[in-house]
Amino acid sequence: MSDVDLPLTKGFSSKASPLVADLLKSDSRELPPALKAVGNYQPKTLPLPMSRYYDPAFAELEKERLWNKTWQFVCREEDIPEVGDRIPYDVGDLSFLIIRSGKNEFKAFYNTCLHRGTRLCNGQGGGEHIRCPFHGWEWSPTGQLSKVPSNWDFPHVIARSEAFSLPEAKVATWGGFIFINPDMEAGPLESALGVLPEHFQSWEPENHFTFAHISKRIHANWKLTLEAFLEAYHVIETHSDAMPFTGDATTQYDIWDDGESHVSRLITPLGVPSPHLGDEASGEAALQGVAMVMAMAMGPGVEPARIDSVELGRSQVAEWRRQTMGAALGRDFSQLCDAELVDTIQYFMFPNFCPWYGEGLPLVYQFLPYGDDPNECVMNIRLLAPVPGGDGPRPPSAQIIELGPDDDFTTNVAQIGVLSHIFDQDMVNLPIVQKGVRSASPSHAYSTLGRYQESRIAHFHEVLTRVLGIVDGK
């Protein structure tokens, strides 16, 4: 029997916890275009070779055919607010320097000095010139060579200084996000973004800023780490304490693929119990649970939403969010629907970018190989917040908190509240999955995915296989 002949069951529900499509029918507002849209693609469920997570030859292929050829998210515009501000972007052992080269203009340069190869940008910085720390060669923010100390010794450079402009990668922006593509022949970013601009239009990612920013080193492959965040299937085991207020098995998964853009999404509703808890699970406890979590997220001493009746459902929590966020930020959130204020709605754009949608949980994930070791990665996590209303300046982007492989979130990142606890639960798994895949029996060295809940992982690998030009199924 082929994969396509098998039945596809799109989620599991209970009396207190309907499937997302049914839950959204009771929203107190008109749904935005994003939440009316459904996916147009269903991948095949194929076995995935575990060697993809540790084989150095596979990582080398990714460097050559993926990272050197793909539009990829690098940072937010607010990370480099002034002309001359810059930040390094490291993906494996490739490195680029992202700089604000004009008021509304950005450039990306290979992060390597043209004299003797020193890495030019080693952390967030600014200033009028890009200066190499070794002998002090300098470039302008637009990449022109502007100074060579002891220039009498470099007449061969001065005579053809335009040949010593910093080599560039393509740069483009959307919604405050900056992207690069090292392939100067690549098509426009828009083709890779697919449905994202249309879906995110009403939520305005450009009117948000980075409120918290964590860079976490993990002893696991970047794909294996990404995949742990593409499904809600693991809630039942890994985050079981969230089940009383999380619709894990009712989660809706959508995929959009037109051959050029590869985007997927999950909508995990909060304020409803997991259907795994059965029909006895209390709708009221689910509402109280999410009200408490949302109040904690607003800061200490904030009174949670009052739950007057189970029948009124999540709209009570949503209305509380409209009021409290509106008052705190001086902005009008009356247009946002309940789901945009309560649920966790995560998009994914191939190969490694997860912008979340709505105020429910406005996170941004980015997964990066670390150096040339396929067993290591970096997961960058941002929590965005709406820019306050009024005429004041935009709040600055949060400083990056660097966490090593053994640093936990709960101790080191208190400002993201209960999310720290959830990330710590995820982080326990990743190194042991990485170890496990490396020691699999040769007779069963492949992953076996669920058809619906893990369909985004199947889709990701389908695209990756194509991009890498793999034909023998490795």
Contact residues for ligand FES (CB under 6 A)? 113, 115-116, 118, 132, 134-137
We find the least distance from the C-beta atom of residue 239 to Fe ion, in angstroms, to be 6
**Segment contacting Fe ion by CB under 5 A, of 42-50, 177-185, 317-325, 421-429:** 421-429
85 binds, among ligand FES, Fe ion, none (CB under 5 to 8 A by kind): none
Nearer of residues 115 and 276 to ligand FES, judged by Cβ:
115
**Segment contacting Fe ion by CB under 5 A, of 172-180, 385-393, 425-433, 458-466:** 425-433
426 binds, among Fe ion, ligand FES, none (CB under 5 to 8 A by kind): Fe ion
206 binds, among ligand FES, Fe ion, none (CB under 5 to 8 A by kind): none
CA pair distance 283, 280, nearest whole angstrom:
9
306 binds, among ligand FES, Fe ion, none (CB under 5 to 8 A by kind): none
The separation between CA 365 and the C-alpha centre of its own chain, rounded to angstroms, equals 2
Nearer of residues 115 and 451 to ligand FES, judged by Cβ:
115
Angle at 57 between CA 55 and CA 61, to 5 degrees: 120
Nearer of residues 154 and 233 to ligand FES, judged by Cβ:
154
Nearer of residues 85 and 426 to Fe ion, judged by Cβ:
426
Give just the sign of the alpha carbon dihedral 414, 415, 420, 422: positive
We find the least distance from the C-beta atom of residue 145 to ligand FES, in angstroms, to be 11
12-38 CB burial, b ≥16 within 10 A, e <16: bbbebbbbbeebbeebebeebebbeee
Backbone phi, then psi, for 384, in 5-degree steps?
-90, 160
**Rule CB under 5 A: is residue 85 a binding residue for Fe ion?**
no
Nearer of residues 154 and 333 to ligand FES, judged by Cβ:
154
Q: Are 202 and 30 in contact (CB under 8 A)?
A: no
Contact residues for 312 (Cβ-Cβ < 8 A; gap 6+)? none
Nearer of residues 136 and 278 to ligand FES, judged by Cβ:
136
56 binds, among ligand FES, Fe ion, none (CB under 5 to 8 A by kind): none
Considering only 426, 438, 440, 468, the residue that binds Fe ion (CB under 5 A) is 426
The residue nearest Fe ion at its CB is 426
Nearer of residues 104 and 150 to ligand FES, judged by Cβ:
150
We find the least distance from the C-beta atom of residue 196 to Fe ion, in angstroms, to be 23
CA pair distance 151, 144, nearest whole angstrom:
16
Q: Are 330 and 391 in contact (CB under 8 A)?
A: no
We find the least distance from the C-beta atom of residue 149 to ligand FES, in angstroms, to be 8
The residues binding Fe ion (CB under 5 A) are 426
